[in-house]
């Protein structure tokens, strides 16, 4: 944020929720702009570029006349999906939760649907916040999975999947869940070859194994605030907490190419 930009500073000081949309990054790559080296760098770079300029921040006003939600987007146009082309496209989402909380999942899915102008996401892969203990457990996954199941029943999501589960935990989730996981992502940076027991279990229960290179924490609370400070300069950022980061991709089914790709980020300010 330009320190002289009084309007933008007022918007941020009054907001309770901050949301960022990167725009379609496929457009940016077509323009041959420099691409970040990792997914974490990509989303942080987009956050910095937004710069909280009042030209890019659109306040959602409440009855008091002050913005409750500050909605910031980059200049790249968002390519919404028309009803005529919907059947030809696959809309996939990976949701990185930074804090435990079921409502955040519903908010993220609703915002993704609104951003892309669709009524349903074809698939959502969940990456829950890191557990307090060293090892992840079924109990740690259950609250998020129950919310995903509710969204499947309400037809907001067609299929749901997991990330970085070993065979034992994937089996526990499969046996417990009412809506079964359709996929599980495996990070090959820490595992050069798919574990044979995981491969066998996935094959027996028709679970698609996918690979990814995402870090466990796509954006930390510290890196989010650091990027905020670069734009806010002398603006107080007390109480701001990162909720979630969502990555969406829209693929043309018949050609297997990306039509669009982008990130949505949400943070809330908790008053002391």
- pLDDT band of 51, cuts 50, 70, 90: very low
pLDDT confidence of residue 257: 93
Percent of the chain whose predicted confidence (pLDDT) is above 70 = 74
In the predicted model, is pLDDT for residue 228 greater than 90?
Answer: no
Residue 1 lies in a domain: no
Domain extent at residue 155: 6-269
Residue 224 lies in a domain: yes
What Å distances lie between residue 245 and 40, 86, 139, 263, CA to CA? 11, 24, 22, 7
Cα–Cα dist 20/7, whole Å: 18
pLDDT single digits (tens) 77-124: 678 999 999 999 999 999 999 876 667 899 999 999 999 999 999 999
Q: CB atoms < 10 A from the CB of 63, how many?
A: 6
pLDDT confidence of residue 239: 84
Residues 195-233 as b or e (16 or more Cβ within 10 Å = b): eeebeebbeeeebebeebebeebbbeeebbbebbeebbe
pLDDT single digits (tens) 1-39: 444 456 666 777 788 888 888 888 887 654 445 545 556
- pLDDT band of 65, cuts 50, 70, 90: low
Averaged over 213-232, what is the pLDDT?
78
pLDDT confidence of residue 62: 63
Cα–Cα dist 225/62, whole Å: 25
Contacts of 100 (CB under 8 A, 6+ apart): 128, 129, 143, 144
In the predicted model, is pLDDT for residue 197 greater than 60?
Answer: yes
Per the structure block, which two tokens stand in for 169?
Answer: 């935990």
CA 13 to chain centroid, in Å, comes to 24
pLDDT confidence of residue 45: 63
Asked if residues 160 and 126 have their Cβ atoms less than 8 Å apart, the reply is: yes
Q: How many CA atoms lie within 13 A of 57 on its CB side?
A: 29
Residue 149 lies in a domain: yes
Closest CA to 127 of 105, 149, 94, 103: 94
Cα–Cα dist 211/35, whole Å: 21
- pLDDT band of 169, cuts 50, 70, 90: very high
Contacts of 81 (CB under 8 A, 6+ apart): 89, 91, 116, 117, 118, 250
Residue 164 lies in a domain: yes
Residue 265 lies in a domain: yes
Averaged over 249-260, what is the pLDDT?
93
Pairing relation of β-strands 121-127 and 89-97? parallel
- pLDDT band of 193, cuts 50, 70, 90: confident
> For the chain, what is the domain count?
1
Averaged over 145-170, what is the pLDDT?
96
In the predicted model, is pLDDT for residue 259 greater than 70?
Answer: yes
Residue 54 lies in a domain: yes
Averaged over 246-265, what is the pLDDT?
93
pLDDT confidence of residue 186: 92
pLDDT confidence of residue 52: 55
Q: Which residue has the higher pLDDT, 221 or 202?
A: 202
Mean pLDDT of all residues belonging to the chain = 82
């Amino acid at each position: 944020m330009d320190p002289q930009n009084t309007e933008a500073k007022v918007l941020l000081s009054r907001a309770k929720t901050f949301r960022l949309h990167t725009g379609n990054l496929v457009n940016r790559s077509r323009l041959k702009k420099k691409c970040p080296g990792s997914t974490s760098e990509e989303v942080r770079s987009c956050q910095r570029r937004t710069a909280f300029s009042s030209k890019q921040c659109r306040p959602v006003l409440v009855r008091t006349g002050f913005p409750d939600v500050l909605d910031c987007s980059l200049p790249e146009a968002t390519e919404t999906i028309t009803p005529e082309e919907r059947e030809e496209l696959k809309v996939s989402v990976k949701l990185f939760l930074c804090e435990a909380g079921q409502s955040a999942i519903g908010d993220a899915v609703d915002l993704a649907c609104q951003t892309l102008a669709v009524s349903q996401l074809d698939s959502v892969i969940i990456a829950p916040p890191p557990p307090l203990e060293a090892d992840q457990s079924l109990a740690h996954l259950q609250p998020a999975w129950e919310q995903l199941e509710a969204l499947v029943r309400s037809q907001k999501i067609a299929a749901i999947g997991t990330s970085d589960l070993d065979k034992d935990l994937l089996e526990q989730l499969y046996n417990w869940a009412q809506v079964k996981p359709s996929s599980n992502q495996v990070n090959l940076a820490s595992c050069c070859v798919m574990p044979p027991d995981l491969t066998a279990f996935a094959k027996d229960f028709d679970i698609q194994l996918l690979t990814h290179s995402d870090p466990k924490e796509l954006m930390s609370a510290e890196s989010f605030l650091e990027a905020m400070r670069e734009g806010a300069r002398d603006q107080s950022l007390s109480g701001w907490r990162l909720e979630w980061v969502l990555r969406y991709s829209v693929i043309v089914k018949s050609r297997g190419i990306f039509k669009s790709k982008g990130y949505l980020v949400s943070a809330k300010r908790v008053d002391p």
